[in-house]
Structure 1
Amino acid sequence: MENKYTGKTFILEILAILLGLVFLVPFYYVVSNSLKPFAEILTNTSALPSVLQFQNYVNAFQQMNYVKVFTNSLIITVASNVIIVVFCSMAAYMLVRTKKKISNVIFMIFVAAMVIPFQSIMIPLVKVAGNMGLLNSIWGLVFMYLGFGSGMTIFLYHGFIKGIPVELEEAAIIDGCSPLGVFWRIVFPLLKPITVTIVILNSLWIWNDFLLPLLVLQDPELRTIPLATFFFFGQYTKQWDLALAALVISIIPLLIFFFAMQKHIIKGITSGSIK
């Protein structure tokens, strides 16, 4: 049966295009105003720039010490993702395969932790982190991201692992594989679709996070990109021209990452649907 192009399809396409344009409006404002002089941003925000002010990007790049803050953000994001994936995948595997009530209780605790607002625990968190020597440390921040990211990650892994046949693991054990070898050689490769999804979600969250690094990282040399961008807004002055340029160059790595991972995202969705 052939799909005919009808008036209803045409209307849906128009609505989809209009909805897409609505989502692109904020990007237009950020990019267009990042190329304007400061005075023009204040007087004519919606119009296209009369003169392209690329110097904004040069000044923003230098003042925010982009290479340093980019390196800090990259180390924190990559290290957090690696630790979260390793620990949470193993934890979810044990919770699924250990058929005891305590496993269900632990899993429900992780799920319940997802609904706790960060703002309600941030003051006790800073106090405890200070007592443990985790403040003003990139690795202390990574450790905190492990705690905050475990709930959702274990929840996603838990549901995916339940769909993996136990017979595969039993066959590997019969062949002489150790329990740790069963996980890393048999189970973990099968988790690639959900692992890609988890890495993308956590990367977006960690890269753009502002509040937790603000509380933990006091040393200017440890600033992440969101923190460096924030310091364009002072108590008495707001450098909109530099701040908007900084926002543009801060989202470029995420865009590159997303387009690079796009093939894996589609594969993950397809694999998950077939599974």
Structure 2
Amino acid sequence: MRKKYNWKIEILGIILALLWIAPLYLMVANSFKSKKEIFMDTTSLPERFNFENYIQAFADMNFLKTFFNSLLITTSSVVIIIIFSAMAAYALARTKSKLSTIFLLIFVSAMLIPFQSVMIPLVTIYGKVNMLNQGGLIFMYLGFGTSLSIFLYHGAMNNVPKELDEAATIDGANRFQIFWYIIFPMLKPITVTVGILNTIWIWNDYLLPSLVINKEGSETIPLKMFYFFGEYTTQWHLAMAGLTLAILPVIVGYFFAQRAIIKGVTDGAVK
């Protein structure tokens, strides 16, 4: 039997889509306007597309340098989190003992500790050892990101049969070779999920970089955007252009990686 067409759900979906798109439209449309045009009408399209706003915002934000700072910190942090979390989860899943259970509970319970409760002593300690820089920031992301990542990897690791380890051991492989060449490739769906979660968090994070990075020229995009937006609070045309530049790398990155992202999330859900 043919299912009855439900036009109410389609209308609801269109309304929700418009609600999501509306802020993006206002930001992009006003980024091409002059200051006078914005105060006259914020909802209309610009009379002409003024790219001078983007040129000035690009230069004032030192966008290329800031973009590569964010890219370096995010990529390095996510890769390190994935490698260390997967290896730790493999060791905990394959070592069945009270000690491994205690360690797993410690990692899980660490997710319940709010960052605000430890940020002051953490920054104080890192300042004493001269690690208030990009390297220290990456190390902090490793500490804060491994708890959830280990938890996710541990759950996926329990679905990988131990017989694979035993067969590889008989063939002469050591523990590292078993993990790196056999187990880790099988964890690709959960690896994509872990990578997505940590990339979104680290790329958009403002609080931790604002506490750790104190050197000019080392700012991430959210931190630089905060300074830029504060400087141009009344210059809305420049502020909108700067915001558009800030979110553009995320949109472009998702456009090129959407197949891998969707496949990784759906595969992880099926498993």
Q: Same fold, TM exceeding 0.5?
A: yes
In structure 2, which of residues 100, 108, 116 is the aligned counterpart of residue 111 of structure 1? 108
Query: 1:4 — aligned with what?
Result: 3
Residue-by-residue CA offset, 1:5-53 (whole Å, 9 max, x unaligned): 43xx221111111111111121112111211212333342233323322
Equivalents in 1 of 2:138, 2:265: separation in Å? Answer: 28
Q: CA deviation at 1:3?
A: 4.1
Query: 1:248 — aligned with what?
Result: 244
Q: CA deviation at 1:159?
A: 0.9
Query: 1:24 — aligned with what?
Result: 21
The runs of 5 or more residues in structure 2 that have no matched partner are none
Residues 238, 145 of structure 1: alpha-carbon distance in 2 compared, 3 angstrom cutoff: farther
In structure 2, which of residues 15, 32, 49 is the aligned counterpart of residue 52 of structure 1? 49
Query: 1:202 — aligned with what?
Result: 198
Query: 1:96 — aligned with what?
Result: 93
**Segment drifting more, 63-72 vs 13-22:** 13-22
Q: Is 1:148 aligned with 2:147?
A: no
Q: Is 1:126 aligned with 2:107?
A: no
Secondary structure, in 3 states, of the residue corresponding to 2:238? helix
1:161-176 mapped onto 2 (5 Å cutoff):
161-176=157-172
Q: CA deviation at 1:234?
A: 3.5
Counterpart contact for 2:107–2:147, Cα < 8 Å: yes
TM-score (norm 2): 0.94
Partner amino acid for 1:131? K
User: Percent identity, aligned pairs only?
Assistant: 52
Secondary structure, in 3 states, of the residue corresponding to 1:173? helix
Q: Is 1:81 aligned with 2:81?
A: no
Query: 1:260 — aligned with what?
Result: 256
Query: 2:213 — aligned with what?
Result: 217
Q: CA deviation at 1:123?
A: 1.1
Residues 234, 19 of structure 1: alpha-carbon distance in 2 compared, 3 angstrom cutoff: closer
Equivalents in 2 of 1:68, 1:220: separation in Å? Answer: 11
- What stretches of structure 1 move > 4 A for 4+ residues in a row? none
Residues 105, 3 of structure 1: alpha-carbon distance in 2 compared, 3 angstrom cutoff: farther
Equivalents in 1 of 2:149, 2:33: separation in Å? Answer: 42
Equivalents in 1 of 2:264, 2:233: separation in Å? Answer: 46
RMSD of Structure 2 on Structure 1 (CA) = 1.7
The runs of 5 or more residues in structure 1 that have no matched partner are none
Residue-by-residue CA offset, 1:73-97 (whole Å, 9 max, x unaligned): 1100110011101111101111111
Counterpart contact for 1:232–1:242, Cα < 8 Å: no
Counterpart contact for 2:67–2:221, Cα < 8 Å: yes
Paired residues, number: 271
Counterpart contact for 2:233–2:239, Cα < 8 Å: no
Residues 142, 61 of structure 1: alpha-carbon distance in 2 compared, 3 angstrom cutoff: same
Q: Is 1:36 aligned with 2:33?
A: yes
Equivalents in 1 of 2:223, 2:31: separation in Å? Answer: 18
Q: CA deviation at 1:236?
A: 8.8
Secondary structure, in 3 states, of the residue corresponding to 1:13? helix
Partner amino acid for 1:33? N
Equivalents in 2 of 1:148, 1:126: separation in Å? Answer: 14
